[in-house]
Structure 1
Amino acid sequence: MSQQRMRVLITGAGGRIGTTLALHLRDRYALRLHYHHAPPNPPVDDVVTGDVSDFAAMQRAVTGVDAVVHLAADPRTTAPWDSVLPNNIIGTYNVFEAARQAGVRKIVFASTNHVMGMYDRDHQWPVYSHLPVRPDSLYGVSKAFGEALGRYYADRYGISVICLRIGWFLSEPHDEISRWMWLSPRDCVQIVWRALESPLPFGIFYAISNNSGRHWDITDAMELLGYRPEDDAERFFTDTAEPAPDAS
């Protein structure tokens, strides 16, 4: 008899990352997708809707699942406090607490490079996941809160929490910044499933591809999660110098 698939809730499944994960993980896991408003043709049948700031809605969403991938948030670095508070702080607490009450034992939290953004501003590279947080925005502050909340739920309640500091999720890198912070779709899918299946009680890791020019360290993700990124932004960049003219 085949082993029963892990039941995984993805919050914020309507975003770019959520859409990619749903399409590529639906054969690996029994997915439930959470949307603010349901799309017309979701990729799986198990769909829930609701606002993450509504605790009762999150209780309904987590009922019966084994794990949660929490993506739902206002992702704008310019997001004002009036949006950050309900969507990124109260919403994250609601997901964690509803999951705890429902007996969920694994949470993968979508954090961000903006938790450490001031290191990037000051060109203080390389950046390691264990350094003190230096958020560059209220968005970054809200994600630092989520990481701290995850640490608390891991230590206090024994829930395995993996926080992924996601770089720049793009189909292809297109400029110098994306050249070192790119996260390809297939590497994103891989690091999420490795986080879901990791036995670690807690961890914070950078989620970027194997970019030759990266400024953020992914050694711990490779060693502790078994992450094996397949893509490197450098393959999209070639020498654009004009060829030397003929001497004739």
Structure 2
Amino acid sequence: MRVLVTGAHGRVGEGLKTYLGDDEDYELTYLDREDHPTYDTHVADVADYEAIRPAFDGQDAVIHLAAYPLTDGTWDQVRESNLIGTHNVLEAAADAGIEQFVFASSIHAAGMYEAENAPELYELDFDLTVTHEDPERPDSYYGASKAFGEDWGRYYIEKRDYPEQFYAIRIASIREPPYDNPYGDAEKGVERGDWERGSDEYETQVKRLKGTWLSERDWVQLVELCFDDDELEFGVFFGTSENERGWFDIEHAKEVLGYEPRDRAEEWTDPPQELLEHVDANRED
């Protein structure tokens, strides 16, 4: 299968390269606005339709990752990459006759559920489950842009010939190694000098990530399951690992796609030694 990955050199794209880059079942093509010393890249900004259009020819599927990625983004920052860019990528996929489209949405499309319930939400006994059927509740321009992308995808499915299948994965928290574990955010704060291990701030970050963590290998499994599916036309799925503290429903992904998370946040009771050594070597005092 030939797969075009937009925004390929960002954090979310790294897991795809690690797990699928050498897989004989996939031929990945990378599109990014910056070149890469290792990976052959079609260099273009998704906000420029004419520049990106040639990369779509001959592809079987698209994984659309390119976006301004932060919740503090202003309207001007989000508009070009997340709104115009997503429209351009969908239009290019439609024009090229690409059948499958995987959209990197975000839990921030429903982020107000967390905003109004945190930090109590991070405790194991908090009773809240948000499903794909609950209303979109964006918490930022970024979150709203992801909700827009989901709705735009539904429009293309229902009104255009291509893509034929659209999957929105509301990604929670993907972290690159050595931070790819429930202690990653807390240890990043230690590394920056924001707090100390064992502090209240540290423990809050651990609890939150134990609710939102999506390991790289579970993220890639979700993508592959979308590619393997030949029935669904449009679907929205929350993307986390098997997290007891999680408030976003992953049963829908299990039932519809056959998702079987390999990683479980509560199995982690301490940060891995590799992470501790990395942070201690690089921490800002």
| Same fold per superposition (TM over 0.5) | yes
Equivalent position SS for 1:168: coil
Runs of 4+ in 1 over 4 A off after TM superposition: none
Question: Which residue of 97, 104, 114 corresponds with 1:103?
Answer: 97
- Equivalent runs, 1:47-196 vs 2, <5 Å: 47-123=41-117, 125-158=128-161, 159-170=164-175, 171-174=180-183, 175-196=206-227
Q: In the alignment, which residue of structure 1 is the partner of 2:14?
A: 19
Equivalent position SS for 2:166: strand
Q: In the alignment, which residue of structure 2 is the partner of 1:241?
A: none
Q: In the alignment, which residue of structure 2 is the partner of 1:9?
A: 4
Decide which structure has greater helix share. 2
CA distance in 2, matches of 1:196, 1:89: 25
Give the gaps of 5 or more residues in structure 1: 1-5, 239-248
Per-residue CA distance 1:144-203 (angstroms, 9 max, x = gap): 000000111111125200000000112111211101110001101100111122221010
Query: Alpha carbon RMSD of aligned pairs, Å?
Result: 1.2
Residue 237 of structure 1: CA displacement? 2.2
Is 1:41 aligned to residue 59 of structure 2? no
CA distance in 1, matches of 2:223, 2:238: 12
Residue 228 of structure 1: CA displacement? 0.7
Residue 19 of structure 1: CA displacement? 1.7
The sequence identity of aligned pairs, in percent, is 43
Give the gaps of 5 or more residues in structure 2: 118-126, 184-205, 271-285
Between 1:133-142 and 1:56-65, the stretch displaced more is 56-65
Between 1:155-164 and 1:110-119, the stretch displaced more is 155-164
Q: What one-letter code is carried by the residue in structure 1 that aligns with 2:38?
A: N
Per-residue CA distance 1:49-102 (angstroms, 9 max, x = gap): 100000012211211101000000000100111111001000000000010000
Equivalent position SS for 2:111: helix
- Using CA pairs under 8 Å that are at least 6 residues apart, name the structure with larger relative contact order, 1 or 2: 2
Taking structure 1 as the reference length, the TM-score comes to: 0.90
Between 1:67-76 and 1:56-65, the stretch displaced more is 56-65
Is 1:234 aligned to residue 231 of structure 2? no
Count of residues in Structure 1 that have an aligned counterpart in Structure 2: 230
Residue 224 of structure 1: CA displacement? 0.4
CA distance in 2, matches of 1:237, 1:62: 44
